[in-house]
Amino acid sequence: MQHYPIQVFWSNEDNAYIAIAPDLAGCSAGGATEFEAIQELHIAIDLWLDAARKIGKPIPWPNTSPEFFRKELDAVTC
């Protein structure tokens, strides 16, 4: 199983937390809490991957560059 990086942020427009998987175009989910948004995103990722396989769309590798994770860590610790 591949693990994709996740970004979570608050959206004033949606009045909810939004979680995205940047490596999977358009893959996002929302929730009342960060935890809920991440749970919903895991479902969305599974559905995104299933749909891509069904239509023969290439599945990207997860971004594992040190620069990406350093940005993620900085965002969490700030």
User: Domains, the chain, ranges and CATH?
Assistant: 7-77 (3.30.160.250)
Measured CA to CA, the distance from residue 19 to residue 9 in angstroms comes to 7
Residue 65 is predicted with a pLDDT of: 62
Question: How much is the pLDDT for 3?
Answer: 87
- Radius of gyration for the alpha carbons in the chain, expressed in angstroms and rounded: 13
The pLDDT of residue 74 is 47
Render each residue's pLDDT in the chain as its tens digit; 78 residues: 578 999 999 999 999 999 999 999 999 999 999 999 999 999 999 999 999 999 999 999 998 665 555 444 444 443
33-51 pLDDT tens trace: 999 999 999 999 999 999 9
